[in-house]
Amino acid sequence: MFESDKIKGIIFDYGGTIDSNGMHWAEVIWMAYQAEEVPVSKETFREAYVHGERTLGKNPIVQPHHTFLDMLRLKTDLQIEWLKAGDFLPEELATPGLKQRLADWCYAYARKSIDSARHILAALSRKYPLVLVSNFYGNVEAVLKDFHLDCYFQSIVESAVVGIRKPDPAIFRLGVKDLLLPAEEIVVIGDSYDKDIVPATSIGCKTIWLKSIGWSEYEGNETADLVITDFAELEQTFGL
C-alpha cells in the first residue's frame, strides 16, 4: 500500500511518463504512421524503430541543443530511410514531407500530454523536491526548456551525461543522492516496469508505475507500490 504522507521527495522518469502519459514512444510513433497511412506492417515499423534508436545510441547525432521536435525529425528520417533502403517503402512515398508530418504529429501528441501534466508537476514541485532521472541522448535540458518544464526539477540525472543507463540501479542512486533523503522516503514514478520500477525498488525507493502500452507484453505478475493508468491520478494520490 502506498502512503503519500511518508514521501519527502520524488524522482520522475521523463520519456514515456511525462510526455506520453505512460505510452511507449514506439506506440506513439506507430499511431502517427497509421494517421499518415504509411503502408508498412507494425512488425516492419518496429524494426525501423529499433534501427533508429540504435543508430542514435551509437552515434552523436543528437546534440545538446536539439529540441524534442529536432529529435523527432532525426528519428523519422532514420526510420523512413531504413524502410526505403530495405524496399519496405516505395521511394516516391519516402519524402521529406512524410518525415516532417510524422514528426509534427508526434510533437503535437507530446505537447498535449505535457500540457495536461504541467499543473500536476507544478503542484508537486511546491510540495516536494523533484529530480528527473532519464535515459536520454544528452539534450534533455533543451527538451525541458522547450516545453517549459525545467523550472520544476531541482536536478537532472541523464544517462548520456552520467554514463549510466537504466535499468542499472546506480542511475537511481544518483537521483537519491541529489535529493539528500533516505531512499525509503522517495518515490520513483515511471512508465517502464523493467527500467524504472524494478531498479528503483531494488535500492529501497517506493514506486508508482504509470502503466499503459509498453514495448513488450506484460507477464501479469508485475507489482509496484501503486499502479496508475493516467498521469492525472497523481492529483488524488498526493492530495493536490
Predicted confidence at residue 147, as pLDDT, reads 97
The last residue of one of the domains, among 107, 138, 163, is 107
The answer to whether residues 89 and 158 belong to one domain is no
The last residue of one of the domains, among 107, 132, 154, is 107
Predicted confidence at residue 215, as pLDDT, reads 83
The answer to whether residues 18 and 28 belong to one domain is no
Total of domains in the chain: 2
Predicted confidence at residue 214, as pLDDT, reads 82
The last residue of one of the domains, among 61, 92, 107, is 107
List, for the chain, all residue ranges whose pLDDT scores fall below the cut of 50: none
| Average pLDDT over all residues of the chain | 96
The answer to whether residues 148 and 189 belong to one domain is yes
Q: What is the DSSP string of the chain?
A: ---GGG--EEEE--TTTTTTTT--HHHHHHHHHHHTT----HHHHHHHHHHHHHHHHHSTTS-TT--HHHHHHHHHHHHHHHHHHTTSS-TTT--HHHHHHHHHHHHHHHHHHHHHHHHHHHHHHHHS-EEEEE---S-HHHHHHHTT-GGG-SEEEEHHHHT--TT-HHHHHHHHHHHTS-GGGEEEEES-IIIIIHHHHHTT-EEEEE-S--SS---S----SEEESSTTHHHHHTT-
Predicted confidence at residue 217, as pLDDT, reads 84
The answer to whether residues 117 and 95 belong to one domain is no
The answer to whether residues 67 and 97 belong to one domain is yes
Digit-coded pLDDT (tens) for 119-149:
999 999 999 999 999 999 999 999 999 999 9
The answer to whether residues 141 and 165 belong to one domain is yes
Predicted confidence at residue 159, as pLDDT, reads 96
* Enclosing domain of residue 211: 2-22+112-236
- Looking at residue 183, which CATH number applies to its domain? 3.40.50.1000
pTM score: 0.94
